[in-house]
Amino acid sequence: MAYPFQLGLQDATSPIMEELLHFHDHTLMIVFMISSLVLYIISSMLTTHLTHTSTMDAQEVETIWTILPAIILITIALPSLRILYMMDEINNPLMTVKTMGHQWYWSYEYTDYTDLCFDSYMIPTSDLKAGDLRLLEVDNRVVLPMETTIRMLISSEDVLHSWAVPSLGLKTDAIPGRLNQTTLLSTRPGLYYGQCSEICGSNHSFMPIVLEMVSLKYFEKWSTSML
């Protein structure tokens, strides 16, 4: 999860988030080089005398500053499109979890099990235990097996919500009357926090999401105890 004064993105926990981090660094370096070049040109024009004023009218210069930006845009667009298609792929999910947004809590249903469903509310500050995170802890965590492809079906029963977990690279809108889907895959165990990312009313900031990624053996024990 994020920590105070963090400047970068959260550590990646899924292959998609790793790709997003690489793309972020790739694009940031291109922006840095462009900014450095523009700053150098501006400083040069302010500190030197223009002895060859006819250079700016040359056909070669116009060709370069037309083709070069197009090449830069292509180097940004191609990796971006690749990641977009990867995020839309559903690769033989082994289980499905349905998520419904409400004002102001989430409800979850494990569709592969009978009567395995629950609501997830934020724990009030007055009820927090030592070490709990304010505005992020919930009474019922979403327990899922790691290294397993999971399909998340996301919708809403009242207003627009958005189910987002940054460390997994997930952000899917919950729209009333529409069922959106996304793929979830965690490469390691742990607790991963998220929040509703769509302004949905007065208690919008009180809709945390907590995923507990565990081994398959522990998940089987947990699901048996919940039935």
CA–CA separation, 137 vs 130, rounded Å?
Answer: 12
Do 19 and 114 lie in one domain? The reply is no
Residues 6+ apart with CB under 8 A from 19: 83, 86, 169
Identify whether 117 is part of a domain.
yes
Flag whether pLDDT at 163 surpasses 70: yes
Same domain, 111 and 217: yes
The pLDDT-based confidence of 53 (bands split at 50, 70, 90) is: low
Name residues whose C-beta falls within 8 Å of residue 161's C-beta, 6 or more positions apart in sequence: 101, 173, 174, 196, 198, 200, 207
On the question of pLDDT at 33 being above 80, the answer is yes
Model pLDDT, residue 44: 85
- What integer pLDDT is reported at residue 160 of this predicted model? 94
Are residue 26 and residue 81 in the same domain, yes or no?
yes
* Mean pLDDT of the region 42-69: 78
Question: Which residue is it, tokens 């208690």?
Answer: 203
For the chain, what is the domain count? 2
DSSP state of 138: B
What CA–CA distances, in Å, run from 89 to 82, 112, 153, 174, 211? 11, 21, 14, 19, 21
Which residues are CB-neighbours of 75 under 8 A, at least 6 positions away? 30
pLDDT for res 3: 81
Instruction: Tell me the percentage of the chain whose pLDDT exceeds 90.
Output: 66
Buried b (16+ CB within 10 A) or exposed e, 160-184: ebbbbbbbbbbebbbbeeeebebbb
Question: Given 62, 88, 114, which residue is the final one in a domain?
Answer: 88
Mean pLDDT of the chain: 90
In this prediction, residues 72-85 reach a mean pLDDT of 92
210 shares a domain with 110: yes
Give residue-wise pLDDT tens across range 67-76.
999 999 999 9
7 belongs to a structural domain: no
pLDDT tier, 227 (very low <50, low <70, confident <90, very high otherwise)? confident
Is the pLDDT assigned to residue 54 strictly greater than 80?
no
Residue 114 and residue 56 in one domain: no
- In this structure, which amino acid lies at residue 51? T
- Domain span at residue 129 reads 95-226
How far separated are the first and last CA of the chain, in Å rounded? 30
Give the end of a domain, one of 72, 88, 104: 88
| 146/215 Cα distance (integer angstroms) | 6
pLDDT greater than 80 at residue 125: yes
Would you tell me how many other CB atoms lie within 10 Å of the CB of residue 140?
15
Q: What is the pLDDT of residues 197-212, one digit of tens each?
A: 999 888 898 999 999 9
Q: pLDDT class for 57, splitting at 50, 70, 90? A: low
Per-residue pLDDT, averaged over 146-167, amounts to 93
Find the mean pLDDT for residues 108-126.
92
Please tell me what DSSP assigns to residue 129.
Answer: P
pLDDT of 52 over the 90 cut: no
| Res 89 pLDDT > 90 | no
Q: Where are the beta strands (DSSP E) in the chain?
A: 95-102, 105-110, 117-120, 142-145, 150-156, 161-165, 170-174, 180-184, 190-196, 208-214
Predicted confidence at residue 162, as pLDDT, reads 94
